[in-house]
Amino acid sequence: MNATRLLRHSPWDGALVALACLHAALIIAWPSVPLIAVLLWWNANTIAHNFIHLPFFRSRRLNAAFSVVLTLLLGFPQRLWRARHLAHHAGREQAVDRWTGRIALEAGLVLLLWAALVAINPRFFCFVYAPGYVIGLALCQLHGYYEHAHGTTSHYGGWYNVMFFRDGLHVEHHARPSTHWSRLAPAGARASAWPPVFRWLDEIPRALDTLERIVLHSPILQRLVVRAHQRAIATALMTVGDVRRVAIVGGGLFPRTAIIMRRLCPDARITIIERNPRHLESIARFLGDAVTVSQGDCDAGCAFEADLVIIPLALIGDRERFYEAPPAPFVLIHDWIWRPRGDGARVAWWLLKRVNLVPRPAAHATRQAA
């Protein structure tokens, strides 16, 4: 029987069936807490998720058998998860009105598996399987939460969508839940730079804003952070030459970057693009009319009339685009200390920050010639 007769929707589903078998083989051959956790999380959001929406096989018996396989691999009745997940897509709070015989059968098989593991090797069950299982479920919970935390959100990272079979196209999936995963295409929807399980990192700018408020009320901390940043920015800009126009994205509650640039480039025209209207008063308090302030959002697609654009660590948007396509002759990007790119300097180990200077290719060629 060939693949098109066996598989209902796509020959690609054969790869998912094979990977489910590989999942089982890996757990049997090299059981460990991390392996059990990661494979549970990965399988639940790839193989099992796709099987919920479009069961792979033409035969109902084969689909029922594969549902049992996934139930034993993941330790959760797949028929129950299917009911809960389809209720989620339908926007219903109550996922299951009653337990069907098949849900009860799969739940019973999970209990039998656990009982067998306890009887055969209780130490393995308590210290390897159970912790891996709980961590895997926690990863699934984190994954599902951040796919919808601020509205349904996609992730267009290439590697992630290869390894997770386009799971990142989540807005697109919700728009067409009956479309096979291999036929989904990016639609330029609401997106995060992070895969769902790492999307809590999008909350870092908000945490940085809280730290900025602490600095705002401490003159000692203000002097300390200005000194650390000024030393790093001066080092990074040593080879830039004359700077006449500076654009700073995000003035912040404590506009230290603008204060520093007034010192380093006293004749430059400095413009701050600030998205938060509540920060404008703070900028005026520290800088008066020494800078120009423009209220609004800004990303790498903005048109900057500047020789130098400075990007904050608390940027809400795609920082990588500023690296890939600098929107000015020079872009100075505040980044984490473990992410050196181009020329730059470390701000301070205790701030976990550095600044990276990224020239536009033409500007880099001119600097090399000079």
- Residue-wise pLDDT for 189-205, tens only, equals 888 888 999 888 777 76
Q: Which domain holds residue 49?
A: 3-149
And the tokens for 209? 């804003």
Higher pLDDT, residue 78 or 303: 78
Give pLDDT, residue 359: 92
Does 367 score more than 70 pLDDT?
no
Same domain, 72 and 212: no
Give pLDDT, residue 123: 96
Point out the domain boundary residue: 149, 173, 196.
Answer: 149
Same domain, 221 and 362: yes
Residue 98 is assigned to a structural domain of this protein? yes
Give pLDDT, residue 95: 58
Domain count, the chain: 2
Q: Among 265, 274, 226, which Cα is nearest to 246's?
A: 265
Same domain, 7 and 143: yes
Contacts of 174 (CB under 8 A, 6+ apart): 89, 152
Residue 177 is assigned to a structural domain of this protein? no
CA 241, distance to chain mean position in Å, is 37
Does 369 score more than 60 pLDDT?
no
Q: What is the CATH number of the domain that holds 365?
A: 3.40.50.150
Residue 41 is assigned to a structural domain of this protein? yes
Point out the domain boundary residue: 104, 120, 149.
Answer: 149
Same domain, 126 and 209: no
pTM: 0.65
Residue 187 is assigned to a structural domain of this protein? no
Residue 161 is assigned to a structural domain of this protein? no
Read off the pLDDT of residues 247-280 as tens digits, 9 standing for 90 and up. Answer: 998 867 788 999 999 999 999 999 988 877 777 7
Residue 158 is assigned to a structural domain of this protein? no
Same domain, 145 and 39: yes
Does 167 score more than 90 pLDDT?
yes
Cβ atoms of residues 358 and 322 within 8 Å = yes
Of the chain, the percentage scoring pLDDT greater than 90 comes to: 56
Least trusted range by pLDDT, from 39-53, 151-165, 356-370: 356-370
Same domain, 209 and 341: yes
Point out the domain boundary residue: 149, 168, 189.
Answer: 149
Same domain, 48 and 138: yes
Confidence tier at 370 by pLDDT (50, 70, 90) = very low
Give pLDDT, residue 212: 78
Read off the pLDDT of residues 291-345 as tens digits, 9 standing for 90 and up. Answer: 888 877 776 556 678 999 999 888 877 788 889 888 899 999 999 888 888 888 9
Mean pLDDT of the chain, nearest integer: 88
